[in-house]
Chain A
Amino acid sequence: MATLIEHSSILIIAVPLLIAFLTPLIGMASKKARNAVVIVGLSFVAFLVFALARDVILNGIHTYTLGATSPSLTIPEGAMMPIRIILEVDGVSVFMGIVVAIVSLVAVVYSLSSMKGETGQNRFYTLLLLMVAGAFGMVFTGDLFNLFVFLEITSISGAALVAFKTRFADSQEGGFKYIVVSAVASLMVLFAISLLYAQYNLLNIGALAAAMQYTMLDRIALVILIAAFAMKLGGVPMHMWLSDTYSVAPVSITVLLITVSQASMYALMRIGFILYGVTLDLAVVGWIIIAIGILSMFIGVTMAVRQTDITRLIAYNCVCESGFMLVGFGVGLAVLGNHTALRTYGTTAISGAIFHMINHALFEGLLFLVAGAIFYRIGTRDLNRMGGLGHTMKFTAAFFLLGALASSGLPPFNGFASKILIYESVYQFNPVLTIIGILVSIITLAVFVKAFFSAFTGAVLPKYEDIKEVPKTMIAAMTIFAVIIIIFGLFPGLIVDWIVRPATDALVDQASYINTIMGAIP
């Protein structure tokens, strides 16, 4: 068991890759075996993630040096800096790992029935596993170039999966937009990485952070990195691709795409808090991120109001919710240098944002799965052509209501638990931001109530009279999300203490991140 945990961080990335390479071979022989292997593999990975999370929270940062003579040997003898690629897993990484593990399992379970009858399933599962491996790699790696490589894995497999339904022109265009945006964003990331490499001749995040001088070139690199990752996560000036992409992908993929966006947000935070840390012009950068957040909240919700397509509505809601997280992180970053402010409300803001990340993945995931279930049965996403579905699809209606209430931040659901943390801490920083946030939440509620009434209530439309409830595996997938949402809503304090608080501490503690890598060398 100890060896398993010692190697767990690499196994979490390598096992999905191994299964992905095996899937085409197994799939040629038997479909059932393939599905079983995928599910068993991802469950094993999820188990490893939880074991690793426990270990990291108890024993501190976990490092793994690839190809060295011992996993913990970060700096070889005779060198002053890390040479090899190092996986560095701290509280935030395992937190994101838990998000990816839960969401990927649910996505696979949901796909089992929603993909039934489609051609090309072998390749679908292969790409899905590659995307999961890429997301794990993004959150676990401690090396900037490695981050870029995994970013590319997620974007290429994601784009191919968005275009999965080749009979619709829309999905091809969605895939095209996704890959163009991702390719440009990741090339910008690579350019920024090369600017950093040019000055310090280093690629490891911890070592770079230790050497960081914050010269003009570093500032240029920072601006490019913020722009690229904001583009990748759909922050507002670059949000145009997001609704086109999310609305046309198979829903199980959309759920994973949300997680990948979260991983981009994680990368942004890793760069802001750890790579640059206190050397930043904290207030300026913090306010830039807050501005992106506020714009995302505002534009996301106003665009959501006028949508008639249910998936596009939820996609714009995603833009809006990621605004909340950006505001939380921005406030945390703005007060990072100021110890009293950080202690009184800064860490709370960061905790709220981190907690909102997992909640966002859960409730938006649930909403997308519901939208997918509706599409699976009636074949349209247009709200104006739905009506009375609640009479026959009772579970689906209940899940939609649950997701909508959680998303608009009503107690006692998880959205409330995280939004209240953001509200009360941001209020101490700047009251206007909180007021905007509450307004946006109210409009969100209005949007969802309208959508719920037009889709689920009213008289049963004659053409939908013989619509049945969706298959059991789809219900099961939605139930997993729903149960977790309710648990998180009922016991938010527990969750915050277990996983959110360690993640926050890891994010604001730049010194221990650096010391784990640089070790004895002063």
Chain B
Amino acid sequence: MRQFFAWLCLIVLMVFLVIGGFKMIHPFGEPPSAMDQYIIDNSQKEAGSNNVVAAVVFDYRGFDTLGEATVLFAAVTGVLLVLRAGAKKEEA
């Protein structure tokens, strides 16, 4: 029963996504690009960077990158926390 339900969900989701992918997303290779074109045109002037992706990563969307660095910091801290020595093993 549970298996059947899970399969049903999965298939319905996939069908939806495929229909969405085919019919409604812009044709492959021709995206709407108002925001991105602005960045491509202005990254050299505003951020002084030849690499537009670097300009997006560190200037236009720098806050995301700060978050991303924080995620990595948190994960490394978490790994070292979880695998730390000195925690005595007792059965719960």
Contact present between A and B (CB < 8 A):
yes
Whether B87 pairs with A127 at a CB distance below 8 angstroms is: no
Count of chain B residues with a beta carbon within 8 Å of a chain A beta carbon:
46
Q: Kindly list chain B residues whose C-beta atoms are within 8 Å of the C-beta of A76.
A: 38
With A67-B59, A119-B86 already in contact, the answer to whether A78 and B77 are too (CB < 8 A) is no
Whether A126 pairs with B25 at a CB distance below 8 angstroms is: no
Give 1 or 0 for each of A143-160: 1 = CB within 8 Å of chain B CB. 001100110110011011
Question: Once the chains are docked, how many angstroms separate the CA of A207 from the CA of B87?
Answer: 50
Whether A153 pairs with B71 at a CB distance below 8 angstroms is: yes
Whether B82 pairs with A21 at a CB distance below 8 angstroms is: no
Count of chain A residues with a beta carbon within 8 Å of a chain B beta carbon:
56
Indicate which residue in A150, A164, A169 contacts B67 across the interface (CB closer than 8 Å): A150
Q: Does A170 contact B (CB under 8 A)?
A: yes
Q: Does A239 contact B (CB under 8 A)?
A: no
With A21-B73, A66-B62, A84-B60 already in contact, the answer to whether A216 and B24 are too (CB < 8 A) is yes
Q: Quick one: which of A187-229 are within 8 Å of B by CB?
A: 195, 198-203, 215-217, 220
With A66-B63, A130-B74 already in contact, the answer to whether A120 and B84 are too (CB < 8 A) is yes
Q: Does A167 contact B (CB under 8 A)?
A: yes
Whether A217 pairs with B20 at a CB distance below 8 angstroms is: yes
Q: Does B75 contact A (CB under 8 A)?
A: yes
With A120-B84, A130-B70, A167-B87 already in contact, the answer to whether A146 and B64 are too (CB < 8 A) is yes
Whether B78 pairs with A153 at a CB distance below 8 angstroms is: no
Indicate which residue in B67, B78, B80 contacts A159 across the interface (CB closer than 8 Å): B78
Q: Kindly list chain A residues whose C-beta atoms are within 8 Å of the C-beta of B2.
A: none
Q: Does A373 contact B (CB under 8 A)?
A: no
With A83-B38, A146-B63, A167-B90 already in contact, the answer to whether A123 and B81 are too (CB < 8 A) is yes
Whether B64 pairs with A198 at a CB distance below 8 angstroms is: no
Q: Kindly list chain A residues whose C-beta atoms are within 8 Å of the C-beta of B66.
A: 17
Whether B81 pairs with A120 at a CB distance below 8 angstroms is: yes
B11 shortest CB reach to chain A, Å = 15
Q: Does A41 contact B (CB under 8 A)?
A: no
Chain B residue with minimal CB distance to A194? B25
Q: Does A81 contact B (CB under 8 A)?
A: yes
- Give B residues with C-beta under 8 Å from A: 16-17, 20, 23-26, 31-36, 38-39, 42, 59-64, 66-68, 70-71, 73-75, 77-92
Give the 5 A-B CB pairs with smallest separation, nearest first. Answer: A160-B78, A149-B67, A168-B92, A166-B87, A123-B81
17 A-B residue contacts at CB 8 Å? A20-B73, A67-B60, A85-B60, A85-B61, A85-B64, A123-B77, A123-B81, A126-B77, A145-B64, A146-B64, A146-B67, A149-B71, A153-B67, A156-B74, A161-B81, A167-B92, A201-B34
